[in-house]
Amino acid sequence: MKKSFNRYFICLGAAGLLLAGMIGGCGPVRVSKQYQKFNRIYVGWLDLDDQDWVKYDYATQAAWIQEITAQNVNLQTYTREDMKGLQVIGADSKTSSVPWNPDTLVIEFSHVSLIANQLQCEMSLYDGGTRKLIKSVGVQPWPFSFNSSGDSSNMTISGELSNSMHNLAQDITTYLTTGQ
């Protein structure tokens, strides 16, 4: 009985490793056919409107701008983590110029809003060589990552935004890997 018990857990462990490799694995991500010509992804600036600092209870406009910058860095970092095997670059500010290159898929965001701390925006994917729009979709990434008790009510707007950036990066990955 002990041998089959151990074999059972070894098989489960191997299956778990295989599943982990397929979901968030070590190897490069496989993008859908329409995006395979790009080896670089440019993640544009997600403009959270630096005039809204009072609305979101920040002490100063500078503090809100710092938060916006941090969240854009988060979005680039999370996208880089999700899109292993591709070079992910991003905007340094809302005035950054887009690197229109044939090997670059450009992702830009517009119509950005935060309604009850829920991020909504339009995400547009462009061919960096031709500047032609490939796809434009409305996205509304879920802002919450529930803790073990299932409660997210104690999360700050910074935490909600960080989770939204993580989920937006996952949305980007989904669109690029499924071609939808």
Running along the chain, 180 residues long, what does each successive block of 10 average in pLDDT? Answer: 39 35 57 91 95 90 95 95 92 94 97 86 96 94 58 72 91 88
Cα 106 to Cα 34: distance, rounded to the nearest angstrom: 14
24 CA to centre of own chain: 14
pLDDT at position 21 is 40
Listed residue (65, 69, 92, 88) closest to 77, CA to CA: 88
pLDDT at position 24 is 47
pLDDT at position 159 is 85
Q: Read off φ and ψ for residue 137, nearest 5 degrees.
A: -135, 150
Q: Is 131 exposed, middle or buried (0-12, 13-18, 19+ CB in 10 A)?
A: exposed
Q: Is 135 exposed, middle or buried (0-12, 13-18, 19+ CB in 10 A)?
A: middle
pLDDT at position 140 is 87
Are 112 and 121 in contact, with CB atoms under 8 Å apart? yes
CATH of domain 31-178: 3.30.160
Cα 180 to Cα 177: distance, rounded to the nearest angstrom: 8
Q: Domain locations in the chain?
A: 31-178
pLDDT at position 73 is 95
pLDDT at position 43 is 97
